[in-house]
Chains A and B, each alone.
Chain A
Amino acid sequence: MPDNDQQVRTLLRDAAGDVPAGLDLLHGFRARRAARRVRGRVALGVGAGGLLAAATAATLTIGTAPSALAQLTSAASRTAGLSYDISTTGVNVPLRAGGPGPAQSVHISGAFDPAHKTGEERIGSDGQIRLIGPYAYLTVFPVHGPALPGDKSWVKVGSTQFWEPLTVGKGLNDVAGVASVAETSPQNLFAVLKSASAVERQGSTSGAGWTGTSYAFTVRLTFGPAGSSQVAVTATGTVGVDQQGRVRSLDAAYTMPAQGSDPRARVTVKMTFSNFGTPVSVSPPPASEVFTPANFQSGPA
């Protein structure tokens, strides 16, 4: 039996050393907190004559089980804090008066590591985004104005828009083209999911190597800075959450209104998330290939 202080310390340290894999305090905390808010709303609604209860009846669950919204919020929060691989297929079908036009599709694959603010995505055959701390390096999609000057093939901007929730003023025009913010900035997507309405638990679902629960949702997406050019659409879709409370799949669809020469279009997005917890290491492109816009200050946006 250990006699001295150091031996006792070792004893206790060893006794607390085998933390089971899969324990996620933040996830459980959020579910517990969400359940508390639901119970609080019920009490408030009863006291206010039922008006509040009626307004929130669609998402209330009486009792200790978190609501579908709470569970989706918890899953979105949890996944947004993990590193993961992502695979996305986006399809854009122009809706013309004479009938739908030819579909444009894009496949995006990549990995995000929010803890280290690193990430990379390959968009289509030659588009790339590399996220390294406060900076984002983009190719194919020019940020300010037309083609990049000289032989530069990358543009350097701030990475804030990729990590922080969408806010008015942070234009999604910076990543134009078929790919929308939902496809190239899943961190924003997770934040948007937390504001979803009409969330309903649908039942069991599964994917490659996982089983879980499916949730249907409706969410409002806003594109572009505030003003007449801002576009707001309503997206509907389903999210698959695995038994560890992580988002594994997301399917969504919305209709983009006509903008300039772009016709009205139906956009569908299918995303899968996998390989959680693996750190993502990204290297910047060669400095000689990088263009930094004059209106991009020395610090990150």
Chain B
Amino acid sequence: MHRGADDLERRFDAFVRGHGERHLRLAVLLTGDWHAAEDLVQASLVKLYQAWPRLDTDADPDAYLRRIVVNTHRSWWRSRWRRERPVAALPDGAGAADMAATHAVGAVVRQALAGLPRQQRAVLVLRYFEDLPEAEIAALLGCSPGSVKTHAHRGLRTLRELLGDDWPQSPVNRMPALERDRG
């Protein structure tokens, strides 16, 4: 491998190490569980890697990868629609009581998100987790800014209905500092 390719490889590795977890978190909100999220991000990284040598030095790899993640999730969803359908109410899951307290909140919300129609879920995640403006969300999802507003409104309403009384009244269960448990 010649030196230019070595540099590209190193920069790619450094990008994944430094930014990968951020996209993993986006992916878990889109997919609902960590295994699927890992799968989605790794598949997206393969696509990013193929494009990596062509990315301009001014390009934003994060934005590029986010687009790949969102589009890949959309194509996955389309091929799996028979297995993933919005539900009117949360199914009886494993039960938050069976999980550690620090994970219970996250799991409940992820489960609720997974109950939303895909487009509403994507809009909420891109709007409130990625903090993207409506115009950018519209471009990512291939819809109009007006549709983004509609999906956001309906998504919040559905989320409210799905969480209902199960949601704590105050945000006391804050997640610990975002450091991986090394060992």
Listed in ascending order, the chain A residues whose CB lies under 8 Å from chain B are: 1-2, 5, 7-21, 23, 25-26, 28-29, 32-33, 36, 77, 81, 115, 165, 276-278
Which B residues, 1 to 32, have Cβ-Cβ distances below 8 Å to chain A? Answer: 6, 13, 16-17, 20-21, 24-26, 28-29
Q: Please measure, in the bound complex, the distance between the C-alpha atom of A19 and the C-alpha atom of B106, giving whole angstroms.
A: 10
A8 touches B38 (CB 8 A): no
Given contacts A14-B109, A15-B29, A26-B17, 12 further A-B contacts (CB under 8 A): A2-B171, A11-B171, A12-B125, A15-B110, A16-B25, A16-B106, A17-B175, A25-B41, A26-B13, A26-B20, A81-B13, A276-B182
**Chain A residues closer than 8 Å to B183, beta-carbon distance:** 21, 276-277
B29 touches A32 (CB 8 A): no
**Chain B residues closer than 8 Å to A10, beta-carbon distance:** 171, 174
**Chain B residues closer than 8 Å to A28, beta-carbon distance:** 38, 42
Shortest CB-to-CB span from B134 to chain A, Å, is: 13
A20 touches B171 (CB 8 A): no
A12 touches B163 (CB 8 A): no
A18 touches B102 (CB 8 A): yes
**Chain A residues closer than 8 Å to B181, beta-carbon distance:** 21
**Chain B residues closer than 8 Å to A115, beta-carbon distance:** 17
Q: Please measure, in the bound complex, the distance between the C-alpha atom of A8 and the C-alpha atom of B124, giving whole angstroms.
A: 9
B78 beta carbon closer than 8 Å to chain A: no
- The stretch that binds A, out of B43-51, B53-61, B83-91, B139-147, is B43-51
Shortest CB-to-CB span from B14 to chain A, Å, is: 9
Among A19, A20, A25, A77, the residue within 8 A (CB) of B45 is A25
A33 touches B46 (CB 8 A): yes
- Count of chain B residues with a beta carbon within 8 Å of a chain A beta carbon: 48
**Chain B residues closer than 8 Å to A32, beta-carbon distance:** 42-43, 45-46
Q: Please measure, in the bound complex, the distance between the C-alpha atom of A41 and the C-alpha atom of B36, giving whole angstroms.
A: 28
**Chain B residues closer than 8 Å to A23, beta-carbon distance:** 24, 34, 38
Nearest residue (CB) in A for B16 is A26
Q: Please measure, in the bound complex, the distance between the C-alpha atom of A9 and the C-alpha atom of B130, giving whole angstroms.
A: 9
Interface of A, helix, strand, loop or mixed by DSSP: helix
- Scoring B43, B125, B160, B183 by chain A CB atoms within 10 A of each residue's CB, the highest score goes to B183
A29 touches B42 (CB 8 A): yes
**Chain A residues closer than 8 Å to B125, beta-carbon distance:** 12
B105 beta carbon closer than 8 Å to chain A: yes
B148 beta carbon closer than 8 Å to chain A: no
- Scoring B16, B113, B131 by chain A CB atoms within 10 A of each residue's CB, the highest score goes to B16
Shortest CB-to-CB span from B44 to chain A, Å, is: 9
B150 beta carbon closer than 8 Å to chain A: no
Q: Please measure, in the bound complex, the distance between the C-alpha atom of A165 and the C-alpha atom of B181, giving whole angstroms.
A: 29
B64 beta carbon closer than 8 Å to chain A: no
Residue contacts A-B, CB under 8 angstroms, 13 given: A1-B160, A2-B167, A8-B124, A13-B129, A14-B171, A15-B106, A17-B25, A17-B178, A18-B106, A25-B42, A29-B16, A81-B13, A81-B17
**Chain A residues closer than 8 Å to B156, beta-carbon distance:** 8
Q: Please measure, in the bound complex, the distance between the C-alpha atom of A7 and the C-alpha atom of B124, giving whole angstroms.
A: 12
Among A9, A18, A165, A276, the residue within 8 A (CB) of B103 is A18
A14 touches B174 (CB 8 A): yes
A1 touches B163 (CB 8 A): yes
**Chain A residues closer than 8 Å to B109, beta-carbon distance:** 11-12, 14-15
Known: A276-B183, A278-B182. A7 touches B171 (CB 8 A): yes
Among B38, B46, B102, B105, the residue within 8 A (CB) of A15 is B105
Nearest residue (CB) in A for B26 is A16
B38 touches A25 (CB 8 A): yes
Among B46, B49, B102, B128, the residue within 8 A (CB) of A12 is B128
**Chain B residues closer than 8 Å to A17, beta-carbon distance:** 25, 106, 175-176, 178
**Chain B residues closer than 8 Å to A29, beta-carbon distance:** 16, 42, 45-46, 49
Known: A5-B128, A25-B20. A14 touches B163 (CB 8 A): no
Which B residues, 150 to 176, have Cβ-Cβ distances below 8 Å to chain A? Answer: 156, 159-160, 163-164, 167, 171, 173-176
B182 touches A277 (CB 8 A): yes
**Chain B residues closer than 8 Å to A77, beta-carbon distance:** 13
**Chain A residues closer than 8 Å to B106, beta-carbon distance:** 14-18
What are the 10 closest A-B residue pairs judged by CB atoms, nearest first?
A: A17-B175, A277-B182, A16-B25, A15-B109, A25-B20, A21-B181, A12-B129, A29-B45, A1-B160, A8-B128
B180 beta carbon closer than 8 Å to chain A: yes
Q: Please measure, in the bound complex, the distance between the C-alpha atom of A26 and the C-alpha atom of B46, giving whole angstroms.
A: 10
